[in-house]
Amino acid sequence: MKGLLASLSQFWVIWIVLNVPGMGLAADLTVEAPQYSSGLKLGLNWTVPTVQSDSLLIVRSGVGPNGPWEIAKSGLQPSETEFVDKVTDDAFRSPPLEQYWYRVVGLAAGMTVKKDPDSLTQLMASSLFQLEGSGRPEASLFKHYPGIWMLLLIVLSVAAMIFYFSAQVRKGNGSKIRRIAGIDAIEEGIGRATEMGKPVLYVPGIDNLEDIQTIASILILGEVSKTVAEYQTDLIVSCCIPIVREVADEVVRSGYYRAGHPDAFDPTSVRFIASDQFAFCAGTNGIMYREKPATNIYLGRFFAESLILAETGYVNRSIQIAGTAEATQLPFFIAACDYTLIGEELFAVSAYLSQDPRLVSSLKASDVVKLVCVGFLVVGIVSHSLGLGFIGNLFSLTGGLP
């Protein structure tokens, strides 16, 4: 009899907890979409209840405040007070719903979390506490941080100034580029190779085509191949990435066509060596030892193999011109190569070689933006020194400096 009464009372307690809103549940859980969110995340914040639990379980429902529930996160420490939940892993197949309900469930020691809905419901029913809350994911169309606006302004400024300075050039107000010894040396190196009857070796870096340095190198390769074709010298292009080889092949072929020597193009001159860094380095070194190029041109993104390549070229007494924006490799190139193009000079080579007014005007545009950035730097240094952080916050991409 006593046992029956105990079971009935337990049944009624569980029934009340499950069905009467707010009974056994605390509403100390806030669910909000993060600022400028993608619409796939919700941030949960709760106050730690006085009841001591062994771990916390977070469950989510897209249907209603009473479930059905699925596990969002299990095994949280009892001292945790916040969590960011990604409401769906595949937004195409299961797009985010309008509203989500959450419960933060405090579990006692020995309680095992299982995924099936029935076990989960029983677990929640026997939990120490449950905090409930709900929220709506909000997908923003634009990140309204000051830094994002500044970034957009910089990009649009560069584009606008390119058009402005191009118009100036058409009116006759041309721009001059200062002499860059390394770029002048490219043509001199090709001439040297022609005189010696040896090829020119061109290495467009070892990074993928999506890297801007590789793209800049391929643009330069177009001009170099045109000059090589005009001088009727051999060109060897050593590529680490197959897709870069395909683009380089097309660019070199185009260079020969533009120079008026389409038949001089050798399809085997643009070579894929290996996709591994040091295998590529070994293969390119082999080319240097066997084919003994008179001029080596390294333009693009390089890593540890940079010095091995440059030193091998030095041993072979090649004239070497290198250019990269990779600051860690610049010292090696400066030590081992005859000419080194540093950082932004790499991106100026195609304009310098082609002397196309539109390309030269883009250099002027980036120089103007550089001056503006220097101005902001100076103002920022002074303002931060005086304890005013507004300049730094103006360029913050995440809403403000800590």
Partner 1 sequence: MRTTIPLVLTFIVGVFMVGEFFIPHWGYQQVKSLVLEFGAVVSGVAFFLGVINLVQVNMPVVVGREDDWQYKLILLLSMAAMMVIGLWEGTTRMEDGAAYKWLFDAVFIPLNATMFALLAFYIASAAFRAFRARNAEATVLLLAACIVMLARVPIGEQIPGIGEYLSRFQNWLMDVPNVAGRRAIFIGAALGAVATGVRIILGIERSHLGGD
Q: Which of 210, 263, 317, 402 binds partner 1 (CB under 8 A)?
A: 210
Q: Which of 218, 288, 299, 319 binds partner 1 (CB under 8 A)?
A: 218
Q: 367-396: which residues touch partner 1 (CB under 8 A)?
A: 369-370, 373
CB 248, min distance to partner 1, A = 10
Q: Decide whether 54 or 266 has the Cβ nearer to partner 1.
A: 266
Question: Which among 302, 307, 337 has a CA at the least distance from the CA of 322?
Answer: 337
Q: What beta strand segments (E) does 275-325 contain? A: 295-299, 319-324
49-80 residues labelled b (16+ CB within 10 A) or e (exposed): beeebebbbbbbbeeeeebebeebbbebebee
Q: Is 265 in the site for partner 1 (CB under 8 A)?
A: no
Q: Decide whether 28 or 211 has the Cβ nearer to partner 1.
A: 211
Q: Decide whether 56 or 239 has the Cβ nearer to partner 1.
A: 239
Q: Decide whether 63 or 159 has the Cβ nearer to partner 1.
A: 159
Question: Which among 241, 183, 186, 236 has a CA at the least distance from the CA of 209?
Answer: 241
Residue corresponding to tokens 């395909």: 246
Q: What beta strand segments (E) does 160-316 contain? A: 200-203, 235-239, 270-272, 295-299
Q: 54-93: which residues touch partner 1 (CB under 8 A)?
A: 91-92
Q: Which stretch binds partner 1 (CB under 8 A): 24-32, 77-85, 301-309, 388-396?
A: 301-309
Q: Which of 73, 126, 257, 391 binds partner 1 (CB under 8 A)?
A: 257
Q: Which stretch binds partner 1 (CB under 8 A): 67-75, 97-105, 182-190, 203-211?
A: 203-211
CB 125, min distance to partner 1, A = 34
Phi then psi for residue 287, to 5 deg, are: -60, -45
Q: 324-363: which residues touch partner 1 (CB under 8 A)?
A: 325, 327, 330, 332, 334-336, 342-344, 346-348, 350, 354, 358-359, 362-363
The footprint of partner 1 on this chain (CB under 8 A) covers a number of residues equal to: 88
Q: Decide whether 132 or 326 has the Cβ nearer to partner 1.
A: 326
Q: Is 275 in the site for partner 1 (CB under 8 A)?
A: yes
Q: 169-188: which residues touch partner 1 (CB under 8 A)?
A: none
CA distances (Å), origin 340, targets 196, 258, 337: 23, 28, 7
Question: Which among 286, 331, 340 has a CA at the least distance from the CA of 313?
Answer: 286
Q: Decide whether 28 or 138 has the Cβ nearer to partner 1.
A: 138
CB 189, min distance to partner 1, A = 20
Which distant-in-sequence residues (6+ apart) come within 8 Å of 132 by Cβ? 25, 26, 27, 29, 65, 101, 102, 103
Q: Which stretch binds partner 1 (CB under 8 A): 76-84, 101-109, 128-136, 237-245?
A: 237-245
Q: Which of 268, 385, 386, 387 binds partner 1 (CB under 8 A)?
A: 268
For every residue of 118-153, DSSP letters joined together read HHHHHHHHTSSEEEEEEE---B-SS---HHHHHHHH
Q: Is the Cβ–Cβ distance between 273 and 300 less than 8 Å?
A: no
Question: Which among 289, 349, 296, 285 has a CA at the least distance from the CA of 320?
Answer: 296
Compute the C-alpha angle 245/248/252, nearest 5°.
Answer: 140
Tokens of 292: 């003994």
Q: Decide whether 42 or 124 has the Cβ nearer to partner 1.
A: 42
Q: 280-299: which residues touch partner 1 (CB under 8 A)?
A: 281-282, 286, 290
Burial of 31 (0-12, 13-18, 19+ CB in 10 A): buried
- Residue 193 is which amino acid? A
Q: 1-40: which residues touch partner 1 (CB under 8 A)?
A: 36-40
Q: Decide whether 57 or 244 has the Cβ nearer to partner 1.
A: 244
Q: Decide whether 72 or 351 has the Cβ nearer to partner 1.
A: 351
Q: 102-161: which residues touch partner 1 (CB under 8 A)?
A: 139-143, 148, 151-152, 154-155, 158-159
